[in-house]
Structure 1
Amino acid sequence: MDQPPRVTATDAALDLIARLSREHGHILFHQSGGCCDGSAPMCYPQGDFLVGDNDVKLGEIGGAPFYIGQAQFDYWKHTQLIIDVVPGQGGMFSLDNGTGSRFLTRSRLFSEAELAALAR
């Protein structure tokens, strides 16, 4: 079995990513660990968010790299993150703010076979 992606996106999320990329150029995501904007995936122009040594790159969605903090990754390493879009207000500093839509993280547990593939 090939390694399953650690992060995927719905068609609605991919549409919003394409729109934000057209408006802002190259973008990236960072999965928030709580605090002010809950656990929303935050979207930034590349260069406006400094990826730290403790950030883990989960993959890419819509051509945008997706990162998560190491502590959050350790907690969620058994799950696949599924980035979706729902009506609402995005995070204060996230590019989805003001669009009438916001990114939302859904998740599902990896199967035993997927976890074995990820361990290789």
Structure 2
Amino acid sequence: MGRRVELTEQSAGLLGQLIQEHGPLMFHQSGGCCDGSAPMCYPLGEFIVGDADVLLESLPLDGGQVVPFYMSRSQFEYWKHTHLTVDVVPGRGSGFSLEAPHGVRFLIRSRVFSDEEAAALAEL
């Protein structure tokens, strides 16, 4: 399990398929008005990250691949006390995210960190 972000089995499976189609991948969640709770999946490096972004987790997949998960710094200020799970559900999300042609979309499920988890994160 990741410290801040984890994948469901279904989302990890879809990422494996998308890696076969597109090569290395990344997530970015901006918190914008449209699909703000949906992480966007891009080929690694296609979305340029910078000082306005935070790397929350490098998500490991079977086979040794790693998918970095970034969030805009301003969005992170709202979500920093929250554990995120990347899931996948039927439906159409943003046309810019790689899963869209498959008739599914990634989404975030969240919960507030427990006191123990928050303390462990503070030690990092």
TM-score band by shorter chain is: over 0.9
* Identical residues among aligned pairs (%): 57
1:16-31 to 2 correspondences below 5 Å: 16-31=14-29
TM-score, normalised on structure 1? 0.92
Question: How far apart in 2 are the matches of 1:104 and 1:5?
Answer: 18
**Residue correspondences, number:** 118
Question: How far apart in 2 are the matches of 1:100 and 1:92?
Answer: 11
| CA offsets 1:60-110 (integer angstroms, 9 cap, x no match) | 223100000111111001111000000011312110111111101000111
User: In the alignment, does 2:76 pair up with 1:78?
Assistant: no
Q: Residue 15 of structure 1 aligns to a residue in which SS? A: helix
Say which of 89, 92, 96 aligns to 2:95: 92
Question: How far apart in 2 are the matches of 1:44 and 1:112?
Answer: 33
1:1-120 to 2 correspondences below 5 Å: 5-61=3-59, 62=61, 63-120=66-123
CA RMSD of aligned residues (A): 1.5
TM-score, normalised on structure 2? 0.89
Question: How far apart in 2 are the matches of 1:111 and 1:39?
Answer: 21
Runs of 4+ residues deviating >6 angstroms: none
